[in-house]
Amino acid sequence: QAPHLTSGPLKNAMARAFQQSGTRADEMDLLSLYDCYTIMVATTIEDAGLCAPGAFGAWLGGHDLSHKGDKPLNTHG
């Protein structure tokens, strides 16, 4: 079980994936996230390492998540 409600197992999985692939979170240029609840987008972006915990609002203000933006989100519809 996650230690608190705003973080899940993705945090450790993403850290390991980045380490194994030799990439970084800031190199991701397309986001396809499970968005069953509104908060899941924020917590997933934080857990993936795109921004610090609790900094999603500020991060979002600096990015365009539209299909033509710098971080397209869920372009599958």
The one-character DSSP state at 37 is S
Report field, pTM of the whole predicted structure over 0.95: no
CB 44 within 8 A of CB 21: no
Domain boundary assignment for the chain:
29-77
Give residue-wise pLDDT tens across range 28-54. 999 999 989 989 999 999 999 999 999
Closest C-alpha among 28, 54, 24 to residue 42 = 54
Does the structure show a pLDDT above 80 at 1?
no
Q: What 3-state class would DSSP assign to 62?
A: coil
Cβ contacts of 21-28, under 8 Å, gap ≥ 24: 24/49, 25/49, 25/50, 26/50, 28/71
Tokens of 44: 């997933």
